[in-house]
Amino acid sequence: MTSLETAPSKTGLRRIAIDPVTRVEGHGKVTILLDAENRVHQVRLHIVEFRGFEAFVEGRPYWEVPVMVQRLCGICPVSHHLAAVKAMDRIAGYGALTPTAEKLRRLMHYGQIAQSHAVHFFHLASPDLLLGFDCEATRRNIVGVVAAAPDIALKGVKLRKFGQEVIRHTAGKRIHGTGAIPGGVNKALTPEERDELRRDLDEHVGWAVEAVALIRRLAGAAPDFYAGFGSAPSHTMSLVAPDGAMDLYDGGLRARDLNGAILFDHVDPAAYHERIVEIVKPWSYMKFPHIAALGAEDGWYKVGPLARLQTVDRMPSPLAEAERQVFLAAGGGRPIAGALMTHWARLIELLHALEVIRDLLDDPEITGTDLMAERGARAGEAVGIIEAPRGTLIHHYRVGDDDLVSWCNLIVSTTHNNQAMNEAIRAVARDHLDGRVVTEPLLNHVEVAIRAYDPCLSCATHALGRMPLIVDLVDADGVTISRAVRNADP
């Protein structure tokens, strides 16, 4: 069997497109090439849009950037906001944040994790898992879940709402807020706001426990299917705390190989580019990163919930850590790579986020008013890395003495998972489509694998591919008379 990335020959093959991929955020499409016997020859996830943030951030004042870059993504704006501001802390010459400022940023971030994981599981992916992959397409959405399982749907809506309210109280606004500024935060959390969030929290923790139990039950009812569907064994990467525990706001980079052995550990975020290299493939605007030492063929890896639960040594919150042990046991001690297992990992992280929010709200310093750090010497270049809901998010900037950004590089979470998502849909095509008459429910199987990665395709379209221009002058018989080419391979 070939890798299915590129058909050996395209002659006589039929093209099927899933366009657009739905119940994910942003623009993507899948193309599948089949022969007359419905054998699958090629499967690709294309990221079809680009916007060019890395280019037009250049020339803007550095203090604008944490607000601008949120517009990369409306689902995880806080992650971009904080990754950028962490870099700008250093650019502007601020050292360690005040304890209150760091805790407020963490609160904002864990609110983001909670709301994003909730929207992804309940609003976007749960119709597949609760109603069935082959449920009628017009009913296979959140409205269908409201009708079939109103209790689950309403708790999902409320879990997301809680995360959004945490963000509103710390960032000023649910979507595209402005709470973090270089050197700290611009708003304290009042005791009244703290009490309002704290009042509802225990009930939400209970609902998150129920959500984990739900996915545990679903996976337990079909363990082989959850383990094998869209399985894409790979290396994994995430930030970890100095003691190896999960930390989604800060830390050093750790990667594990296919067998779980550590490839690198506690790598300073500023040195990410020594470890990670990106390549471009001609059929997608999204780049393909890999671990430099292993090469493009073997070095691709996963980030996000499924990776994080396996890169870290433990989760520093008791309910989530207990659930993580159950999750790992389901893999029988081997690394877990099934696409659907990502949903299980995601809901354990949702529980973790709520536990962390509870600890932060119970910390007296959270309502402190010392919000800005001491300012020292400025830097001309800095890297900010954070664990966004979908995985490691890297922001890298250079800023001139005139305060204007002179260069920027972003590697967003979904980009890290580019190869893994492509491998997952190829596995689904091999296992479920090959040799069969392709139907809508079968095509939805392919989308189910993509949804498991919670891809943020808007995020992934920030990076500019280089748009080639090819003009062919063709006569009435279809013969090319002349061709002009710009920006393409010779």
Partner 1 sequence: MSAPAPLPAPAPRRRLRVATASLAGCFGCHMSFLDMDERLVGLIDLIVLDRSPLTDIKHPGPCDIALVEGGVCNAENVHVLRELRRAAKVVIALGACAVNGGLPAMRNHRGLEDILRKVYEERPDGGAGIPDDPELPLLTDKVHPLHEVVRVDYFLPGCPPSADAIHKFLTDLAEGRTPRLADALLHFD
Residues placed in the known binding site: 54, 73, 76, 410, 456, 459, 462
Determine if 270 is a binding residue for partner 1 (CB under 8 A): no
According to the binding rule CB under 8 A, does residue 149 interact with partner 1? no
297 belongs to the binding site for partner 1 (CB under 8 A): no
Which phi and psi (to 5°) does residue 414 adopt? -65, -30
Q: Is 140 in the site for partner 1 (CB under 8 A)?
A: yes
Residues that constitute the known binding site for Fe cation: 76, 459
Q: Cis bond leading into 20, ω under 30°?
A: yes
**Considering the complex, what minimum distance in angstroms separates the CB of residue 464 from partner 1?**
4
Of the residues 271, 280, 293, 473, which one makes contact with partner 1 according to CB under 8 A: 280
Interface pick for partner 1 out of 134, 161, 258, 363 (rule CB under 8 A): 161
186 binds partner 1 (CB under 8 A): no
Residue 27 binds to partner 1 (criterion: CB under 8 A):
yes
Residue linked to tokens 């090959």:
434
Task: Report if residue 480 touches partner 1, rule: CB under 8 A.
Answer: no
For partner 1, the closer of residues 282 and 478 by Cβ is 282
**What burial class does residue 148 get, using C-beta atoms within 10 Å of its C-beta: 0-12 exposed, 13-18 middle, 19+ buried?**
middle
Indicate whether 487 belongs to the interface with partner 1 (CB under 8 A).
yes
| Residue 310 lies near partner 1 (rule: CB under 8 A) | no
CA neighbor of 460 nearest in space, from 426, 407, 490, 422: 422
Q: How far is the CB of 300 from partner 1 (least distance, A)?
A: 14
Q: Following DSSP, what letter does each residue of 24-80 receive, concatenated?
A: SBS-EEEEEEE-TT--EEEEEEEE-----HHHHTTTSBGGGHHHHGGGG-SSSHHHH
Q: Which residues are annotated as a binding site for Mg(2+)?
A: 54, 410, 462
Among 7, 123, 210, 328, binds partner 1 (CB under 8 A): 123
Please report, for the chain, how many H helices and E strands are present, in that order: 18, 16
Kindly state whether residue 187 participates in binding partner 1, applying the rule CB under 8 A: no
**Site size with partner 1, rule: CB under 8 A:** 76
Closer to partner 1 by CB, 311 or 422: give it: 422
**Counting contacts by CB under 8 A, is residue 419 touching partner 1?**
no
- Which of 16, 148, 149, 157 touches partner 1 by CB under 8 A? 157
Q: How many residues does the chain have?
A: 490
Task: Tell me which of 35, 403, 409, 438 binds partner 1, using CB under 8 A.
Answer: 409
- The torsion of the CA quartet 242, 459, 79, 53, rounded to 10 degrees, works out to 100
Q: Does 389 bind partner 1 (CB under 8 A)?
A: no
- Return d(Cα 428, Cα 443) in angstroms, integer: 10
Stretch that binds partner 1, among 63-71, 182-190, 307-315, 384-392 (CB under 8 A): 63-71
The yes or no reply on residue 467 touching partner 1 (CB under 8 A) is: yes
User: Residues 358-377, buried b or exposed e (16+ Cβ, 10 A)?
Assistant: bbbbebeebbbeebbbeeee
Rule CB under 8 A: choose which of 81, 86, 105, 174 binds partner 1: 174
Binding mask 71-90 for partner 1 (x = CB under 8 A): xxxxx-x-------------
The distance of closest approach from Cβ of residue 22 to partner 1 in the complex, given in angstroms and rounded to an integer, is 5
The DSSP call for residue 258 is T
> Does 20 contact partner 1 by CB under 8 A?
yes
CB 262 within 8 A of CB 255: yes
At 79, which amino acid appears? S
Map residue 474 onto helix, strand or coil. strand
Cα–Cα distance for residue pair 296/200, rounded to 1 Å: 47
C-beta of 52 vs 400, nearer to partner 1:
52
Q: Which residues contact 270 (CB under 8 A, 6 or more apart)?
A: 382, 383
Shortest distance in whole angstroms from residue 118 CB to partner 1: 10
Question: Is residue 129 a contact residue for partner 1 (CB under 8 A)?
Answer: no
Give bridge partners of residue 290 from the DSSP assignment.
277
Binding flag, residue 198, partner 1 (CB under 8 A): no
Q: 462: which 2 tokens?
A: 């920030």
**209 touches partner 1 (CB under 8 A):** no
Q: Is 466 in the site for partner 1 (CB under 8 A)?
A: yes
In the region spanning residues 33 to 62, those forming contacts with partner 1, defined by CB under 8 A, are 44, 46, 48-52, 54-56, 58
SS3 468: coil
Among positions 217-256, residues that touch partner 1 (CB under 8 A) are: none
CA 344 to chain centre: 15
